[in-house]
Amino acid sequence: MTNIVLFGAPGAGKGTLAGKIKKFSSVVHISTGDLFRANIKNETPIGKEAKSYIDAGQLVPDSVVIGMVKDRIDQPDVKENGFMLDGFPRTLEQAKALDEIASLDVVVVIEIAKEDLKKRILGRRSCPKCGKIYNIYNDELKPKKEGYCDVCENTALVQRSDDNEETFEKRWNTYLSQSEAVIDYYSKNEGLVQKIDGTRTMSYTEAELRSILKM
C-alpha cells in the first residue's frame, strides 16, 4: 500500500499522471475537484457547507476541504489500497493537517515552466461530443482539420471558458505564493519529495514511475 501526493500547478498534468499510475496500481485516485462535485451532488453535510461558500463567491475554508479529504481517506477501499491525492494539499496548513490524518510515502512535484504550462492550458480544445482533448500548440495533439474533431469529423472543438489568460495568471500566481512553503515543508523529510518533468507526464514509462513512486 502506497500513499502518494501529486503536487503541481493547475494543468501541470496531475490527472494525466494519475491515469498512468492507475494502469499498473490499485491505489485510489482522490481528486479534490471530484470530491467537491460528488459531495455537493449527493447533498452531504460537508457538500452543503462547501456549496454555501461557493454560492456566496467565497473560497471554501481549509477546515471544510480537510474534512472532505479525511472522510474519503477513511473509506475501506483507501485503507486497503492506499491513496493518490490530486489537488490536495494546496497550502501549508492543509499539508500539516494531512500529516495528522495519514502518513505519506512520496510527494511527486511536477515541475513545468510557466510558458509551457500557458501553452498547454490556453491551447487546450475539446470535442463536446466525444470528449477527446486537443492542443493547438502541440503538433502531436493538433486536430487533423483545424477546429474540428478527428473522431467526430464535423463537430467543432470548444475551449473551456476558464482557459483564458486572466484566469491562468491568477491560478499561476496563487500556486507560486503557496507552493514554496508546501515543498519546503515536505523537503524536510529526506527522500519524500520526488521532482519530475511536467513536459513528460504523458511519456513516463511504467518502470520510471514505479522507481519514482518506490512501488
* Residues forming the active site: 14, 90, 124, 160, 171
> For cell 475539446, what's the residue?
126
Burial class (CB in 10 A: 0-12, 13-18, 19+), 98: buried
Closest CA relative to residue 17, chosen from 93, 110, 147: 110
